[in-house]
Amino acid sequence: MTTFDFGNGPVPAHQHSNGGGWVADSASVADTAYVGPDARVYGNAWVYGDALVFGNARVFGNAQVYGNAEVFDNARVYSNARVAGNALVSNKARVFDNAWVSGDAKVYGKARVSGTALVSGYAQVYDNAWVSGTALVYGNAQVSDNAWVSGDAHVSGNDEVAEEDMFIEMNGWHFG
């Protein structure tokens, strides 16, 4: 039996046939998906469709990456998070809890998407921005800098939330 240490001791694992990255035997990765040589998929994670995981990216826990989605650089997708469609998660971004990034959305830089938040359409979350709670960011909206969108806030259309330390929560504006 082949094993690999994903950080908590060796577990049964194998190198994915399309890219050579390490996949825990407990995870599920489709033959059509790509897991690059330095990428890792472990826990009970699923990567399927034509999804790409490469660079030093990690997909773990019960996370799912599917469709034509890409997770790369040093990005992390974990817990019960989903990245779907043509979405991109890159740089040092984190998508976790039950968050969902879909459509043509992009999450990058050191951005965080958590809770049950949804980022979709052509929306972008980047820099040090954080989208959490049940917040929705969609359309062509952009959340950047150190902005925080939380609660049940909605950022949509061509809206931009980019002020230093701006905090939006519960459908209202609160400035930090």
CA–CA distance, 47 with 125 (Å, rounded to integer): 22
pLDDT at 156: 92
pLDDT at 162: 86
Q: What is the dihedral of CA 30, 89, 114, 39, to 10 degrees?
A: 50
pLDDT at 94: 98
- Which letter does DSSP use for residue 46 in this model? E
pLDDT at 167: 66
56: tokens are 């030093």
- For 169, list phi and psi in degrees, rounded to 5: -145, 145
Nearest Cα to Cα of residue 16 among 45, 8, 7: 45
Q: What are the beta bridge partners of residue 155?
A: 137
Q: Does domain 87-176 have CATH number 2.160.10?
A: yes
pLDDT at 175: 37
Q: What are the beta bridge partners of residue 174?
A: 167
Q: Which amino acid is at 156?
A: S
pLDDT at 6: 97
CA–CA distance, 10 with 147 (Å, rounded to integer): 39
Please list the ranges in the chain whose pLDDT falls under 50: 172-176
Q: Which amino acid is at 141?
A: A
Contacts of 158 (CB under 8 A, 6+ apart): 139, 140, 141
Q: Which residue's entry shows tokens 């939006």?
A: 168
Domains in the chain: boundaries: 1-78, 87-176
